[in-house]
Each structure stands twice: as C-alpha cells, then as structure tokens.
Structure 1
Amino acid sequence: MDYVERLVRLGRLTTEQWGLVTAEQARQVGVDASALAEFSKAGLLSRAGEGVFQLAGAPLPAHLDIKVAWLRLEPDRLAWHRQSGASGVVSHSSACLMHGLGDLPTGVVEFLTEPGADASRAAGVRFHHVPRMDSGQITLIDGLPVTAVERTIQDLLRAGLDGGHIGGVVADAVRRGLVDRHALASHIAPFAAEYQLPFPAGGFELMDHLLAAAGERFPLSADG
C-alpha cells in the first residue's frame, strides 16, 4: 500500500470521528505505527492524546479532551459503532459541559461504565460504575453518548456535589426547558435528606434549596 492510499484510509476513518483516529483503528486498515510517525513528521497528523491523532486541516473539535478520552475507552472500535453507550457514557461534570449547563469544575473527564471496567487505563478520567443504563437516560450530542439532563442532575446529587453547583445546573436546565419540573422533583426527592432538608421535604423543596444555594431566585414549586 502506497503513501497516498494510507492517507486516504486514515481520512475515511476520521470523517465521522471529529477528524480523529486512534492508533489501533489505523492499524486495522493497514497504517502501522511507523506510518503514523511518518505522517506526523510530515505535518499531516498531530497528536491529540495518547494513542489518538488528528488529521491536519480538520477543524478543532469542541470538547476535544472528552472525545479523545472516549475514543481511548475502546480504541479498536469506530465511534459510530459505540453510540449505544455500552463502552462508556459521558456523565457528571463532563455531561454538563456537553449540555452547556452550569459552571462545574472539570479537572477530569467523567464516564458512567459498567462494573468491571478498568479505571486504571486512562489518566485524567474518572469512572462511575453502574449497571447497564436504560437507553432513555442517554442522549447523543455531537456523536457522543451523554447522560440525559435529568439523569445528569441525579448523578450529581448521588455524588454529593455541593448544592450551589447543582443549583446552577438545575436553573439552566429549567430556563431552557430541558427538564419537566414535576418529573425532576419526583426523581430527586430521595436526595432531600442527604442535603440536610428536614422531613418531610421532597423534590420541590430540594430544588428550591439548590437554587437558593446558586443565588437563583425564580420560583420552583409544585404549582409550577
């Protein structure tokens, strides 16, 4: 296989992967490590992360760190074969980034994965192990499987994140009409006690508490 054919094969792989390709994906189409090094030296590829390369001239993708980390979870499989989320779903603070909600600290990329996933294989990544998720709790954003907004809020509460940060996420989600307030109140009610609300406080009281912690003042009540 000649130089041009190798480059064409890489280009095909990157077309629906944000201009990115893993070393393992490249190897599967006959482009080995030495060829990748040659392309990099020639300025046709740049290193986007460990074992992940970006094709020269491709637009810099939004949330590059999340996409690189997700590709590395299963580097031998193409992105469009993994959108069910079976190999990892973007979650917690990273899901908030993808949804454009709140202002959470984002020092690591966070994923939900099934029990048994090897969290040691990726630096800068935090794994949250859960049983296989219902597909209704996953949405696709820019080709990535991401926890739906309501599930993301529940995960933040389950993780014990401070009320102010979660309140900012809730406020943004409500303002943009991304959650049904009654459904959200029902699903977050079990967390009221964990946020020091007296019995019999429920989901609406918890939402009010979170919003107040975020400095938000628009009303959220059972009457809408």
Structure 2
Amino acid sequence: MTTEQWGLITTEQAEQVGVEAASLDALAQSGVLTVAGAGVFQLAGAPLTPHLDIKVAWLQLEPGTPAWQRLTGNSGVISHSSACRLHGLGDLPVGTVEMFADASLTAEAGVRVHQEPGLDPSQITVVDGLPVTTAERTITDLLHAGLDGGHVGGVVADAARIGLVDLRTVAQQVAGFASAYGLPASASGHDLLSHLLADAGEPDPVPVGD
C-alpha cells in the first residue's frame, strides 16, 4: 500500500490489513517507520516526497481510504494556496494546507477546509497523485477569497508562462471580480488581469478582446 501513496500509511489503513496501532508505534520506535503526522507513518528510508505536509493532511482527512480511491468525489481536493504549491505557481506564503472537502469530514489543526458542494470534475486535475483544482479554477478561488492582487498576479503570470491556462478564457471567468480589486464596475476581465499582473510587476500578455 505504501508504494502507491508516497511511502505513507495511516493507522486506519494498517489496521485494515491486520497491523494494530501498538505495532506501528513499536515499528516507529525501532526506526522502521517514522511519524509523518498524527496517525500517519512513513517508511524509513523511503525517497523524500515533495509537499509532505499536504499529502499527510489529505490522508488524515479520510484515513481509512487508500489514496488511489480518492481521486474523485468530495473526499478532499487540494485548492487555493496549496494548489498553487502543487502546480508551482506564484510565491504565496506556506503554512495552512487548503482543500475542498465534504462538510462531514474533519480536518486536523493547520488545515483549512473549504465547502464546495458542486466542484465540477472538469475543474480537478491530478498532480503527484493528489486531486487538485486546475490552475484556472485556482485563480478564481484566490480572487473569491480576496487574496491581494500582487500574489494573484504572480500566479496568473506563472500559469500563463508554463501553459496551464489560456488567458483569454481566464479573462472571461474573472470579470466579475474587477470591482473587488478597485476597478470600475464596467471593467473587463482583461482589465482585471492587466491590473493584477501590474501589481505583480509582470508584463501584460493578456489578449485584447476577452
């Protein structure tokens, strides 16, 4: 199981295959396992996995279900600043892990769960074995959350540079946020993206005619 989820296993997953929590603790004390987070263990000597905090937080949200069974549905979709980290976008502060999840799921400390009852499958992609909001959806979520323009502009610029978004499409999707960022109500999505990119000190590659 651990080979298919970054060398990690939860207490609940281990119990399902007959390994009790006390045995996991003993394996950790002997150095066979290391504690990656509350109720999550990692094989000692396993290759370092990037974004370990995100993966641990995601496993903790539904610890009895293997990672490969959670790539669809409402059992946790990495979002907002954490989605930016996985996509390699922008320079947002690292700290709280953010994700969309069903209201019935309980997150550990340091995790912010956003409620989204109707997240469309087309707005979800898989990055390093994790379900993650697409770059386009992530930009919209950051604007909805009111993140400052400079940080959002950096995300937009990086997403365009590496080909994760079509700026004409993004401009159509974000026009409704223009007034929240100090632009006139008549401002277009193109105007907003230009404003965000300027705040980030980035050139404006947004196509005219959004």
Alpha carbons 2:194, 2:204 under 8 Å: kept: no
Pair 1:56 & 2:41 matched: no
1:35-55 deviations in Å (ceiling 9; x for gaps): 111211211000000000001
Match of 2:59, as an amino acid? L
Matches of 2:29 and 2:128 in 1, distance apart?
30
- Structure 2 unaligned segments of length 5 or more: list them: none
Matches of 1:113 and 1:202 in 2, distance apart?
32
Aligned-partner SS, 2:81: helix
1:88 to 63, 72, 76: 76
2:179 to 182, 185, 193: 193
Matches of 1:85 and 1:107 in 2, distance apart?
25
Query: What is the CA-CA distance between 1:117 and the residue it aligns to?
Result: 3.5
Name 1:72's counterpart in structure 2: 60
Matches of 1:117 and 1:222 in 2, distance apart?
44
1:7-59 deviations in Å (ceiling 9; x for gaps): xxxxxx10101000000000110000111112112110000000000011211
Q: How many residues align?
A: 210
Q: Normalization by structure 1: what TM-score?
A: 0.90
2:151 to 165, 184, 198: 165
Aligned-partner SS, 2:159: helix
- Structure 1 unaligned segments of length 5 or more: list them: 1-12
> Which runs of 4 or more aligned residues in structure 1 lie more than 3 Å from their structure 2 counterparts after TM superposition?
none
Matches of 1:209 and 1:85 in 2, distance apart?
35
Alpha carbons 1:25, 1:76 under 8 Å: kept: yes
Alpha carbons 2:61, 2:105 under 8 Å: kept: no
Greater Cα radius of gyration, structure 1 or 2:
1
Query: What is the CA-CA distance between 1:178 and the residue it aligns to?
Result: 1.1
Matches of 1:133 and 1:199 in 2, distance apart?
27
Alpha carbons 1:85, 1:145 under 8 Å: kept: no
Matches of 1:221 and 1:201 in 2, distance apart?
15
